[in-house]
Amino acid sequence: MYKYLLTVSTISVLLFMFSCCNSDALPEYETNKQSQHNHDFHSYANTSQVRTRHLHLDIEVDFNSKTISGIASHTLENMGFDTVIFDIKALDIHKITLDSPNGEETYFKTGTHCNTLGQALYVHVKPSTKIVHIHYSTTENSEAIDWLSPNLTAGKEHPFLYTQGEAILTRSWIPLQDTPSNRITYSAQVKVPKELMAVMSATNPQEKNATGIYSFEMKQSIPSYLIALAVGDIEYRALGTNSGIYAEPVLIDKAVYEFADMPKMIETAENLYGPYKWERYDVLVLPPAFPFGGMENPRLTFATPTILAGDRSLISLIAHELAHSWSGNLVTNATWDDFWLNEGFTVYFESRIMEALYGKEVSEMLTLIEYQELVAENEEIQKSQYPEDTHLKLSLDGRDPDEGMTSVAYVKGAFFLMTLEDVVGRAKFDEFVKNYFETHQFNTLTTEDFVNFLNKTLLIPNNIKFNTDAWIYGPGIPSNCRTITSNRFNLVDDRVNEFVNGKKATDLGIKRSDWITQEWMHFIRQLPSDIPVARLKELDAAFNLKGWGNAEIMTEWFLVGIAAGYTDIRPEMERFLMAVGRRKFIAPIYTALSRTAENKIWAKNVYQHARPNYHAVSFNTIDAILN
């Protein structure tokens, strides 16, 4: 519990919950004991009064009806209140019983639906109540769940399901207190079709069983957004004593090759910032509809197949998700306004892993690519309705927390830490980061908690003055931001200049295999905005950029082609948009297409067919882009 939690009155919280989202008034059984409330404005849960300590799921996955149904059993800690409030969204609540699944039914009520937050679920409890059993089922509007038909999988034979809970979508497949400030342990029994296997962000099977019933346990406490489930035709391969890969059988060999360095990454991360606390680190390669590059579900990262480049050039994504085992999973942002604490630390940690394993040159190129993206997005945000979103500490009250998931949290956050490292020195900064993880393990922090810890343990003892407030509460990129250069990018720039000044693409003296992904991305990004279409066709003839197969390179090429009016790329771009659901790639492409009337018409036609292939995280974004 944080010191300013007590300053949030019940009245102010209820004004947000019940006026912002037009919810019902408090039920009659709620008493004036409610003098404090959860300070997370993206959750209805009253965790400062009654909180879940452990969640047990007894559920069945039905692909025919596309529902998950069963019982969510919450073991409670009650500070003397007669109501526990859960978060739900698009769930059918059948009944609620106390202390036994077949026990006494209790009174419950739901608030009016809010498009962003869902609904509050009020449950009347007794002082002696230990467990609340919520009997429920999901609906077709449960946004966390992606039900994939066989044709949307790699194997094309069996259906697939996965959940994506970050930021506030777990409430759409489990009724629970959906705030990162309340860490819980959980267990589950999951029944699935016998030909499929279930895995979760917990202990996991390594082969299918004959019953289709799987048991799971997560003994370490985690925030609710990290509870995750996947069901499909999945195979497992070990990579080391505590790591391995899950994937569809047709992808498993490719994935094993791509992620061969995972055991080295784990060892490198531990050498930097202390022991891995989650026992195993495995990765599940999902079908292409997955909206993110990766999701750091503890013990089992969910990863996009778009990183299977065949040359291990996109392995930094695994370094990123592994780093989350410390930053985000071990030490978690208390609210979504503090999201940078998760991602800024993780991008910084990722760069340190990549530097230790692959050298400073590679790490610098990766960081410069991210910095280019930060500069571009920072300019866009400053011109938007919410220029304050360029601050690290956000103010997302009344907004979807997904709106805070920009490169500001990731890259500005990382450069804040890199700049601190430059000022205090790497040895002292590493000691600080290691101490930060150790001191706050299995806890949640606000930005203000972090600033206090930074001042107390690093800046004041070393008599260092630093513009912390400018970085955290100020706009844009501060002037003392670390500067990074790359000799390899300078050589790429030379080739760009030669091409722009008239040298033929075939005379540049380079082959596709000469450069890694990031060098090709940099090459494409440095092409002038007014480049003639004929020159783009020349590059395609030499290097087949539009049909490369590497999603990072193809996305950059499509963006350049759209801006130049290079319509020859449309067949490859349509296939890409139909096959890939990762928001990082498709959102910029649809945005670029929406800028002209003719391109927008074409984009809407493609999207009409592609939308069923996307997760809600992606299609909600694209719906807004294309109106």
Residues catalogued as catalytic = 321, 410
Contact between 42 and 401 (Cβ < 8 Å): yes
Q: Is 286 in contact with 217 (CB distance < 8 Å)?
A: no
Distant-in-sequence, close-in-space partners of 476: CB < 8 Å, separation ≥ 6: 378, 382, 390
- Beta strands 67-78 and 131-138 are antiparallel
- Phi first, then psi: give them for residue 244, nearest 5 degrees: -170, -175
The contacts of residue 559 (CB under 8 Å, 6+ apart) are 588, 589, 592
Interstrand relation of 300-303 and 331-333 (parallel, antiparallel or unpaired): unpaired
Indicate the pairing of strand 243-247 with strand 229-232.
unpaired
Tokens at residue 319, please?
């370094």
CA distance 378 to 295: 24
Please report how many Cα atoms fall inside a 13 Å half-sphere around the Cα of residue 352, on the Cβ side: 26
Cβ atoms of 554 and 545 closer than 8 Å: yes
Distances (CA, A) of 287 to 102, 165, 270, 302, 428: 38, 17, 30, 10, 42
Q: Which tokens is 479 given?
A: 């002037």
Cis check for the bond before 167: say yes or no (omega within 30 of 0): yes
Q: Calculate Rg over the CA atoms of the chain.
A: 25
Q: What's the token pair of residue 42?
A: 């993206």
In the three-class reduction of DSSP (H, G, I as helix; E, B as strand; rest coil), residue 543 is classed as helix
Residues 430/355, Cβ–Cβ less than 8 Å: no
